[in-house]
Amino acid sequence: MPVDRSENPPSAEALLGLDRAHVWHPYGPMPGRVAPLLVTGAEGVRLDVRLPDGERTRLIDGMSSWWAAIHGYRHPVLDEAAHAQLDRMAHVMFGGLTHEPAIRLAERLVELSPEPLRHVFLADSGSVSVEVAIKMCLQYQRSLGRPAKRRLLTWRGGYHGDTFHPMSVCDPEGGMHSLWGGVLPEQVFAEEPPAGFDAEPDAQYVAHLADLMERHASELAAVIVEPVVQGAGGMRFHSPAYLRTLRELCDEHDVLLIFDEIATGFGRSGALFAAEHAGISPDVMCVGKALTGGYLTLAAALCTTRVAEGISNGEVPVLAHGPTFMANPLAAAIANASLDVLTNPRLRGGVSWQQDVARLERGLSAGLAEVRGLPGVRDVRVLGAIGVIQLDREVDMAAATDAAVRNGVWLRPFRDLIYAMPPYPTEDGDLKEICGGMIAAAEASISAS
């Protein structure tokens, strides 16, 4: 259906008709089976949404736009940074040129991240930063005269993005990429880490990791994992002790360690970076999502001087990667503003991010307690500003989404998981609404199936 250009602005029906005809949405068929909700604006922790019956409403965002909008929407400090940078330049190429927003951002990322990460490669998206991290590790091993070390080890239940190399280290069965066996590089998979952030480390699992590392050491370039929280692969939490085990095994076998902190970075799990729970540092670390407070797409792969020098003294002494929009100044300026807001309590109503995340953790724990043990509910878990209800069956997406929306909350469940990771400034009353929306979604899903 063509849009009547005399209409100003086009009607919601016309827009949704065009969306259905032309726009491919995440993890969906073309055309989509379920019409998306039309968002017309967002402010604070609320999205302005048009419902299918034409009614307009405001929904509390329980998802922070997939972990990204940690400060909520239209934050005055981030808006101001965007406007100020637009008045200077929106973009300039990064080959042979540089600029202050990128330089400051790299310096601050190094300052905030665990020692000894020192060098920053800015990339366009989380998946691309994982590609870069993997390329760094493979090239490091080649540069040191160890070309046979080109496989990766990870544990099951992970998610690292949708481009091909990241897909090869996503969970091979439960994940969204099981279709691609035979196409992707074959990596080495350990079993899922035993569940529970506070659980005592399981000696058998540690032995399993040690055994796999020993058997595959000669062909492994790196281990890649999401530290502490496995996100889109299943919203599972594990003990930081396993990260220390991986660090020791990597050192023992000349294997590099990559932490994918794209979801966990910038406070979400209760530590600025989840690696801090374990008191260790990886050789390469990926960040993205909340880096720009959810305003623009930007990610980074940070590495140590050992990795950077290994590559730069190698046979091909450059890292052959240079996206067109690398270090986009607008995104970098907003990222700097987002880090200001995160780290300066004066810009967040006198409250530190640690206090906000601890408050959200308490609120999610209290608000979700009542569904623990209910028929149909397998588990309820909370860590930092992440709350999860896991059902004993697939979520009925239509019933669950509808129930959450009727409760004034935006959620996006997947598989058997109804979960929320709200923006940090979400007030207690709104957090209660989010918990209510999650519970309503769980109940609707259970009674629909």
Q: How far is the CB of 313 from ligand PLP (least distance, A)?
A: 29
CB-based contacts of 404, cutoff 8 Å, min separation 6:
62, 410, 411, 437, 438, 440, 441
Residue tagged active-site, from 171, 260, 356, 396: 260
Residue with smaller CB distance to ligand PLP, 270 or 367: 270
Q: Whole-angstrom Cα distance, residue 284 to residue 311?
A: 13
Q: Which residue type occupies 215?
A: R
159 tagged catalytic: yes
SS3 of the chain: helix, strand, coil, percent, to 5? 40, 20, 40
Question: Smallest distance from the beta carbon of 129 to ligand PLP, in angstroms?
Answer: 8
Nearest residue (CB) to ligand PLP, 44 versus 288: 288
Binding region for ligand PLP (CB under 6 A): 125-127, 130, 159-161, 226, 231-232, 260, 262-263, 288
Q: Please identify the residue of the shown chain whose CB is closest to the bound ligand PLP.
A: 126
> From the CB of 162, what's the least distance to ligand PLP, in Å?
6
Q: Among 289, 356, 419, 430, which one carries the catalytic annotation? A: 289
- Please tell me the total number of residues recorded for the chain in this structure: 449
27 a catalytic residue: yes
DSSP H helices, 296-406, are 305-312, 329-343, 353-368, 397-406
Nearer of residues 262 and 440 to ligand PLP, judged by Cβ: 262
- Cβ proximity of 419 and 394 under 8 Å: no
Q: Which is nearer to ligand PLP, 262 or 420 (CB)?
A: 262
Q: Is 260 a catalytic residue?
A: yes
Report the nearest approach of ligand PLP to the CB of residue 333 (Å).
19
Shortest distance in whole angstroms from residue 163 CB to ligand PLP: 7
Tell me if residue 419 is catalytic.
no
Q: Identity (one letter) of the amino acid at 125?
A: S
Compare residues 254 and 414 and give the one whose CB is closer to ligand PLP. 414
Please tell me what DSSP assigns to residue 14.
H
> CA 243, CA 249: separation in Å to the nearest integer?
10
Torsion angle defined by CA atoms of residues 40, 46, 52 and 53, in that order, rounded to the nearest 10 degrees: -100
Measure the N-to-C terminal CA separation of the chain; round to a whole number of Å: 36
Active site residues: 27, 159, 260, 289
